[in-house]
Structure 1
Amino acid sequence: MDLEETKLPGVGLRHDFTTSRGRRVGVVSQRGGERELLLYSEDDPDACQAVIDLEADEAEVLAELLGQPRVVERLARLREQVEGLATEGVYIEAGSPYAGRSLGDAAVRTRTGASVVAVVRAGEVVPSPRPSHVFEVGDKVVVVGTAEGVRATAELLAHG
């Protein structure tokens, strides 16, 4: 599934995707934490059929109901507020030199300047993992830093 991200200067970000059944859905994330849930028209993918305004706490409840860990949501909010900050989930894939090895072995911060702020494994979030945390294939490693640092971390975790 492709997720489109559009910066809305002075407002925040809009994310759009199309479901497997062809419905286009979007979310506008405003700088103050408010969200707008957008349901686009089936006949015109550029026209909204419905807009639901959500306060920050309502958006958190909906995200939790849909299975989104709160840590990842808060990082997305932080990313919107700090210009130049990149946040990305990097997966530990089969063949990664760090599958079965610790975060400390990877020395991510020292080697890339980026920070590992969480690891998501089977839907469970490990916030602020310790250097002794051992990566497993399928882990989603949440990385924060400059765009260059995040890219370097993805490369490091994939190829060493």
Structure 2
Amino acid sequence: MKRTKPYGPREDAVLRTHIELSRAYNKLRAKETATIAEHGITMAQFAILEALYHLGTLRVGQITELILSTPGNITVVIKNLESKGWIRVYPCETDRRIRMVEITEAGSGLIASLFPDHVRNLTAWYGAALETEELNTLSRLLRKLEKAQ
């Protein structure tokens, strides 16, 4: 559907880019969510396990920032992961108000078994549309957009 009211060359380019970026993200995220759900975990659970697996022990606040979630949602997801034995939560030694989160052996095993498939899926989805040079350009442009905000 073509918009009938123009807003100016730059504005129209911005609107078109924003819509295409949103559509692409939503489509990729839906595919990603569906494939992760096949393993019986949510995207938020996957994101926390992946962060802990690759970065090591983190503060709850760091996890909230890394996976772009809200503190209330993170609290629930962390409790669920802890109840499944995939993470361990404990107070920080230097500041008891801060809670630390580390991945357990069971959590590491789970994410280690899922992550290679995740990488293959992303590579297939992105690779179906973009060459490596285009991926590098897109990544650079998105980072530039992020840093400008």
TM-score interval (norm. to shorter): under 0.3
Hey, which of these two has a bigger chunk of helix by percent? 2
| Bigger radius of gyration | 2
